[in-house]
Amino acid sequence: MLTLLKYSTHDCSICQRMAAFDAKVAEELGLAFVDVDMKNPLIYGRYRKILLHHYPLKQNLGLPTYLLVESPEGDFSIHGEIAGGMPEDRFQARLQELLRESASN
C-alpha cells in the first residue's frame, strides 16, 4: 500500500487549511496517510530519512510537502510529490495524477 506523508508544522497556516481535507482525500483514494509534524521529534525522527533523501539539507522545501511513498517503514521508494497549498479539487487531481504515474512505472 502506498502512503502519503505530509511534512508540515502545527503553526503553518497553509498546512492547517490543507488539513481540512488532505487526509480525507488520501483515504478516498486508498492511501495510508501520515501527518509528519516536523516539530515533533518522535514522528519527524521516524520519517526524516525519507524527507532528507528527497530534500538534502531541506533546501527548497516548502510547507506543506506531501511525498507519495511505498514502504515508508523500510526500504522506501518515493513515487511523487505535491508541494504547497491548493484547493481540495486541485489537490485531489494532482494526487490522482501521481497515482496514475506510479501505476504506469
Task: Tell me the backbone φ, ψ of residue 51, rounded to 5 degrees.
Answer: -60, -45
Boundaries of domain holding 85: 2-104
pLDDT of residue 57: 86
Q: What is the value of pTM for the model shown?
A: 0.96
When divided into structural domains, the chain yields a total of 1
Per residue in 19-75, pLDDT tens? 999 999 999 999 999 999 999 999 999 999 999 999 998 888 999 999 999 999 999
Query: Does residue 1 carry a pLDDT above 90?
Result: no
Query: Rounded to whole angstroms, how far apart are CA atoms 27 and 54?
Result: 24
CATH of the domain at 17: 3.40.30.10
Query: Rounded to whole angstroms, how far apart are CA atoms 33 and 35?
Result: 7
